[in-house]
Structure formats: structure tokens, C-alpha cells
């Protein structure tokens, strides 16, 4: 139930993406603790991955991806949203895992407040932009150290207001969402049957 150490992140990006499923993402704020279990991730590799921001070279935006593992790479997309990534691989090698969806466990009232939306729990954090908004994560936190005590990831505590801890689960691997180049590469991972995966629900 400890906080994941830097060695966890300092590994192959696809392995980290897979192993982050079922872990607990924690944001400590003045108002209280917000915690969600990670249920969907995508691996973004470095210079050779055409779907990655780090494709071909370092830029001011993607520089965090090239730095030490265990940091947060947070970027702004489509004029409105922030996406949270975890930096992987050794210092100097680009790689990151996009956290695409979570399952709310603690601080659900805070999440609803941050999202300024009513509706089912399953729509609170079922997408990368929704997740950061619910957790109160913005671009000013880009580069924050995930081995610190403000924003970090733990093994599933089994605590939570929502439901029992995730036990064993099957992992499904598919192509990544929302990109054109590199879409065919099977670098998206999610927990089979989970109700909090990104995407539209039928009404």
C-alpha cells in the first residue's frame, strides 16, 4: 500500500502502462484527499512512436517526457483540457503513460464540485480531460514529482466510498484513442468489463 517508488517508473513504458492498471491515483488538496483507481492507460513511446508528442525530437512542450522518470507530464489539448501522463524510462529517454480513465474512490463530492456536473459516477472520470478536471490537476503542475506527497500513485488501498477494491482482472489491449498517426499500434490498456472506461455510454 506504499507509494510507488521511482524504480517503478524507470522501466519500459508499455510495462508501466500495463502495471498502472488497478493502482490508486491520489491528489492531496487543502479541501481533502481525492483518490481514483486507474482503469485505462495508453503508452506513448519516444522518438520512434508517430503517435507520441516526443516523436522525432525534444520541444519545449514535450521536454518533461525526456527527463527523469516518476514526474508528471501535463499538457493542454484542444483549447480546453489537460491530460495527465506519468514519465517513464531512464533519464534522457522519452516515454510516458497517459492516464485515460479512473474509478472514483475518495473525495467524490470534491470531484463533482471540480467537474461542476451532476450525473452518474461513471461519467466523472471516464476520460483524460475529465479525470484531470475531477482531481483538480492543471498545467501549472507540469513536471511535479510523483514521489512527492502532493500527487502520487499507490497500490490499491482497498479503501474508498465507492466499492470494493479491484481484485483480479483481465487486461484488454487495443489501439490508442484520439490520434491519427500510430493509431494501429496496440498501446492502449484497460480493465476488462470496467464501467469507468472512456467513451460514450448508451442512455
Partner DNA sequence: AATCAGATTTCCT
Partner DNA sequence: GGAAATCTGATTA
Return residues touching DNA (CB under 7 A). Answer: 42, 44, 51-54, 56-57, 59-62, 65, 73, 75-81, 83, 85, 96, 98, 115, 117, 123, 127-131, 176-181, 198, 202-203
Instruction: Compare residues 2 and 79 and give the one whose CB is closer to DNA.
Output: 79
Instruction: Compare residues 47 and 159 and give the one whose CB is closer to DNA.
Output: 47
CB of 164 to DNA, least distance (A): 25
CB of 36 to DNA, least distance (A): 13
Q: Is 126 within 8 Å of 196 (Cβ atoms)? A: yes
CB of 6 to DNA, least distance (A): 19
Q: Helix/strand/coil (H, E, C) string of 43-65? A: EECCCCCCCCCCCCCCCCCCHHH
| 73: enclosing H helix or E strand | strand 72-77
Instruction: Compare residues 19 and 157 and give the one whose CB is closer to DNA.
Output: 19
CA dist., res. 73 & res. 122, Å (int):
25
Distance from chain centroid for Cα 194: 16
Instruction: Compare residues 22 and 127 and give the one whose CB is closer to DNA.
Output: 127
Beta strands in 78-170 (DSSP E): 81-87, 96-106, 151-154
Return the number of other C-beta atoms located less than 10 Å from residue 109's C-beta: 12
CB of 159 to DNA, least distance (A): 25
Amino acid at each position: 500500500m506504499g507509494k510507488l517508488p521511482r524504480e517503478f517508473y524507470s522501466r519500459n513504458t508499455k510495462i508501466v502502462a500495463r502495471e498502472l492498471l488497478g493502482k490508486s491515483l491520489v491528489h492531496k488538496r487543502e479541501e481533502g484527499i481525492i483518490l481514483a483507481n486507474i482503469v485505462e492507460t495508453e503508452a506513448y513511446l519516444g522518438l520512434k512512436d508517430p503517435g507520441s508528442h516526443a516523436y522525432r525530437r525534444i520541444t519545449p512542450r514535450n521536454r518533461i517526457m525526456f527527463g527523469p522518470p516518476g514526474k508528471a507530464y501535463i499538457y493542454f489539448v484542444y483549447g480546453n483540457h489537460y491530460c495527465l501522463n506519468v514519465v517513464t524510462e531512464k533519464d534522457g529517454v522519452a516515454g510516458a503513460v497517459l492516464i485515460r480513465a479512473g474509478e472514483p474512490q475518495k473525495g467524490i463530492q470534491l470531484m463533482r464540485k471540480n467537474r461542476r456536473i451532476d450525473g452518474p459516477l461513471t461519467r466523472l472520470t471516464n476520460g483524460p480531460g475529465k479525470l484531470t478536471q475531477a482531481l483538480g490537476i492543471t498545467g501549472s503542475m507540469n513536471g511535479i514529482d510523483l514521489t512527492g506527497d502532493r500527487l502520487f500513485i499507490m497500490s490499491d488501498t482497498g479503501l474508498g466510498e465507492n466499492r470494493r477494491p479491484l481484485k483480479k482482472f483481465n487486461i484488454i489491449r487495443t489501439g490508442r484513442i484520439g490520434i491519427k498517426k500510430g493509431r494501429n499500434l496496440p498501446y492502449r490498456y484497460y480493465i476488462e468489463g470496467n464501467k469507468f472506461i472512456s467513451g460514450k455510454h448508451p442512455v
